[in-house]
Chains A and B, each alone.
Chain A
């Protein structure tokens, strides 16, 4: 059975950071979506979703990311996905041609900029 874990940290000023690890596929996509929802309280202003250490994500998992993008946008919550180049998540996003549909941090938005 596919396993994923979510570590949520809140900085107190409405900023929530979620680190998603493990694997997300058809088997646990719905559960993962519910767990992300549960980790985002109503007073949240910004959400950073860190996919750096996610080992695998398939189209079902990408669908969760896309839905989340829409949901948080409607709630006027800023949403960023961290999926650095060469990460498994970035690779799947690129293969699915979803790079422009998700709020990915652009490579030039690095701390040196």
Chain B
């Protein structure tokens, strides 16, 4: 909440509109006034620069009380979240501060000063004009209050009181307003630097310091906080779910500063919690929407939530008012993914959200971002998206991030928070597969899944795929049954492409005993039938089975 300066400038002519004592401005200041002004200078001297807000106010109020010869002096600061004035420092009114008195803007004496943004003088308190019971009990007769205004915004209220009836003269009003102006600027500067620092460190703590390491997926990210106006509510998140799926979040809480950063933190945690319990990304955002709607009313948030399956071959995408990712396939043109965009979170209740499942080809790059990257003053968002699209290329995520930031942001500071997160699915073709697993039958299914994943992008026919799985499976089963004693051991499986064949090696470090049972004999026969070549290298330090399987088996036979 911010209050625009809308009435007389501080120290200028002020007419009390509620028929209290009229106040007029004095052009020339009396000697007493200038003497007092010199003493005011002392109020904001450099020795106070290192004090925190509370200490600074205490010191200033002491001096104000002496200079104006009043009995009480108090500062109430505006709480921007609630719009209340909160008693923050006082002399002669310690209870008010200790009890954390809160006064809504517009109500009571201080509230009136805040609402009018102008000095208010009360010669003799009567009726319900004073809201603070403490002021009443203290026996105050006369009050003078002035607004604290910094850069056109209300920061709080400074008031002084007298236990004996007194009329505050216009030059005294001016004097107090002069003090108030200086107090306002220094309080505002201190407070906003504290807020900025808090928002900054909060946001820093909520953005992953290090992205998770996922085999088969590379990731890189950049986050550039806004240059002016404080950090916003942008965040990104990457997490691995218990079933091996990878959650990728890009979000933006509308607003700036500490308030936006705090809400962002809550939304981020809630999303993670829902992600654990609900597999459809649209369900996760539906629940998050309800949560924001209820607990963070009015905090509009855009979120993109992408879930990549454990095999890394597909992803589901759901968007709550957030720009969709741009994908670049190897040898392809960058294109925004064809998914639906539902309304932002926290706006309308009861929306049925949708997700879209898309394939993630090997080697493809997926770029997610916040609008700070694509929005420029005076141009359409489509222009910004087109600029990003034409900048993307199929490269390592880190290289993609560097190029995009360099081209779209350059040397200048960003006007809005800017986040960019780039994923790239590894292209396993050409890269060998290497697995080291316990020599245990329970591992067989997982190894087959890895082999299927590795074979997927290769030009291998269906029978040859089956042959690789069968031959490696039988070699592994041999190891599991014969290589180790009850203590167990490990088996290493490597697959590599060599010309138009797949070469698989299955290696253990045990000492074989003789094969038992008929099944093993059949296993050897299967290996022979599936592979063009089977070699067995048995030494004291272990056994290596090497299998060469043709990739176009059907054509060959």
A residues near B520, Cβ cutoff 8 Å: 59
Is the pair A59, B448 in contact by a Cβ cutoff of 8 Å?
no
Is the pair B445, A58 in contact by a Cβ cutoff of 8 Å?
no
Is the pair A97, B529 in contact by a Cβ cutoff of 8 Å?
yes
Specify which of A23, A27, A95, A98 lies most central, judged by the most chain B CB atoms within 10 Å of its CB.
A95
Given contacts A58-B470, A60-B519, contact A25 B525 (CB under 8 A): no
Is the pair A96, B522 in contact by a Cβ cutoff of 8 Å?
yes
B142 part of interface (Cβ distance < 8 Å): no
Is the pair B444, A27 in contact by a Cβ cutoff of 8 Å?
yes
Given contacts A26-B480, A26-B481, A63-B519, contact A58 B442 (CB under 8 A): no
A10 part of interface (Cβ distance < 8 Å): no
Q: Per-residue CB proximity of A68-94 to B under 8 Å, as 1/0?
A: 000000000000000000001001101
B518-534 residues with Cβ-Cβ distance < 8 A to A are 518-520, 522-523, 525-526, 529-530
B14 → A minimal CB distance (Å): 82
B474 part of interface (Cβ distance < 8 Å): yes
Is the pair A98, B522 in contact by a Cβ cutoff of 8 Å?
yes
Is the pair B526, A95 in contact by a Cβ cutoff of 8 Å?
yes
B445 → A minimal CB distance (Å): 4
B residues near A2, Cβ cutoff 8 Å: 441-442, 444-445
A95 → B minimal CB distance (Å): 4
Is the pair A88, B466 in contact by a Cβ cutoff of 8 Å?
yes
Q: Per-residue CB proximity of B458-485 to A under 8 Å, as 1/0?
A: 0000010011011001100100110000
Is the pair B519, A23 in contact by a Cβ cutoff of 8 Å?
no
Is the pair B463, A56 in contact by a Cβ cutoff of 8 Å?
no
Q: How far is the CA of A98 from the CA of B525 in the complex (A)?
A: 10
Is the pair A58, B529 in contact by a Cβ cutoff of 8 Å?
no
A21 → B minimal CB distance (Å): 14
B466 → A minimal CB distance (Å): 5
A38 part of interface (Cβ distance < 8 Å): no
Q: How far is the CA of A38 from the CA of B492 in the complex (A)?
A: 37
Is the pair B470, A92 in contact by a Cβ cutoff of 8 Å?
yes
Q: How far is the CA of A88 from the CA of B469 in the complex (A)?
A: 11
Is the pair B522, A63 in contact by a Cβ cutoff of 8 Å?
yes
Is the pair B444, A26 in contact by a Cβ cutoff of 8 Å?
yes
Is the pair B477, A26 in contact by a Cβ cutoff of 8 Å?
yes
Per the CB 8 Å criterion, the residue count for chain A at the interface is: 22
Size bracket, chain B contacts = 20 to 34
Closest-by-CB residue of A relative to B518 is A63
B residues near A95, Cβ cutoff 8 Å: 467, 470, 525-526, 529-530
Q: How far is the CA of A91 from the CA of B473 in the complex (A)?
A: 14
Is the pair B477, A58 in contact by a Cβ cutoff of 8 Å?
yes
Q: How far is the CA of A69 from the CA of B32 in the complex (A)?
A: 118
A1 part of interface (Cβ distance < 8 Å): yes
B residues near A92, Cβ cutoff 8 Å: 466, 470, 526
Is the pair B477, A25 in contact by a Cβ cutoff of 8 Å?
yes
Closest-by-CB residue of A relative to B520 is A59
Given contacts A26-B477, A96-B525, A97-B529, contact A62 B519 (CB under 8 A): yes
Q: How far is the CA of A58 from the CA of B364 in the complex (A)?
A: 35
A105 part of interface (Cβ distance < 8 Å): no
Is the pair A58, B526 in contact by a Cβ cutoff of 8 Å?
yes
Given contacts A63-B522, A96-B525, contact A1 B474 (CB under 8 A): no
Given contacts A25-B473, A60-B477, A91-B466, contact A97 B444 (CB under 8 A): no
A residues near B469, Cβ cutoff 8 Å: 56
Given contacts A58-B526, A91-B463, A92-B526, contact A26 B470 (CB under 8 A): no
A-B contacts besides A97-B529, A98-B522, 16 pairs, CB < 8 Å: A3-B445, A23-B448, A25-B441, A25-B444, A25-B477, A26-B441, A27-B441, A27-B444, A58-B473, A59-B520, A59-B523, A60-B519, A91-B466, A92-B526, A95-B529, A96-B529
15 contacts between A and B (CB under 8 A): A1-B445, A2-B442, A23-B448, A25-B444, A25-B473, A26-B477, A27-B442, A56-B469, A59-B522, A63-B519, A91-B470, A94-B529, A95-B530, A96-B525, A97-B525
Interface residues, chain A, with chain B CB atoms under 8 Å away: 1-3, 23, 25-27, 56, 58-60, 62-63, 66, 88, 91-92, 94-98
5 nearest A-B residue pairs (beta carbon): A27-B441, A63-B519, A59-B523, A59-B522, A95-B529
